[in-house]
């Protein structure tokens, strides 16, 4: 079933949208179609990569596909901790804290922790990249950042 017209009608009245990407499949053809429609109406978007606990999950590939398939600049604000059966949680690159799922409640229970040593360097690089991309969007912010 083709929902192109319904999606287009909805996009005309949205203030923003959340795009969910399957971490195994990445950007799929229907996602590309809806993304182009959202571009047409200037709808701001946030992308959420889900299903990181599934076999074949690949966060970095999803981030790459955002650029190659959607023509968008990805600004990751989280870094996954593991994937597939080793998926434990995320590092919040804003607070620089780990968010670790606890129990079997599918993410309902979690705790914050300091970033483990083996992830610190990667997360620091990702955070620096995040800040640089963010300040590039505003000349005043860029001057403050450089100043």
Give me the number of domains the chain comprises: 2
Residue 121 and residue 65 share a domain: no
Check residues 101 and 77 and name the one with the higher pLDDT. Answer: 77
Residue 48 and residue 24 share a domain: yes
Domain boundary among 28, 48, 74: 74
Residue 47 and residue 16 share a domain: yes
Residue 69 and residue 1 share a domain: yes
Which range of residues forms the domain containing residue 16? 1-74
Of 24-28, 100-104, 120-124, where does mean pLDDT reach its minimum?
100-104
Mutual angle of helices 139-146 and 117-135, in 10-degree steps: 130
Percent of the chain with pLDDT over 70: 97
CA dihedral 120, 82, 27, 1 (to 10 degrees): -140
Mean pLDDT for all residues in the chain: 93
Instruction: Express each pLDDT in 104-138 by its tens digit.
Output: 776 688 999 999 999 999 999 999 999 999 899 88
How far is 42 from 12, CA to CA, in rounded Å? 9
* 80, β-bridge pairs: 90
How far is 19 from 73, CA to CA, in rounded Å? 14
Residue 84 and residue 61 share a domain: no
């Amino acid at each position: 079933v083709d929902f192109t017209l319904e999606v287009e009608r909805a996009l005309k009245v949205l203030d923003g949208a959340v795009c969910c990407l399957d971490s195994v499949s990445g950007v799929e053809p229907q996602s590309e179609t809806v993304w182009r429609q959202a571009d047409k109406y200037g709808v701001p978007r946030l992308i959420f990569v889900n299903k990181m606990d599934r076999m074949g999950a690949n966060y970095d590939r999803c981030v790459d596909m955002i650029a190659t398939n959607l023509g968008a600049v990805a600004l990751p604000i989280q870094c996954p901790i593991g994937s597939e059966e080793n998926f434990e949680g995320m590092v919040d690159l804003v607070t620089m804290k780990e968010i670790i799922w606890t129990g079997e409640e599918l993410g309902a229970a979690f705790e914050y922790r300091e970033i483990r040593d083996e992830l610190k360097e990667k997360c620091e690089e990702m955070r620096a990249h995040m800040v640089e991309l963010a300040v590039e969007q505003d000349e005043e912010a860029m001057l403050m950042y450089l100043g």
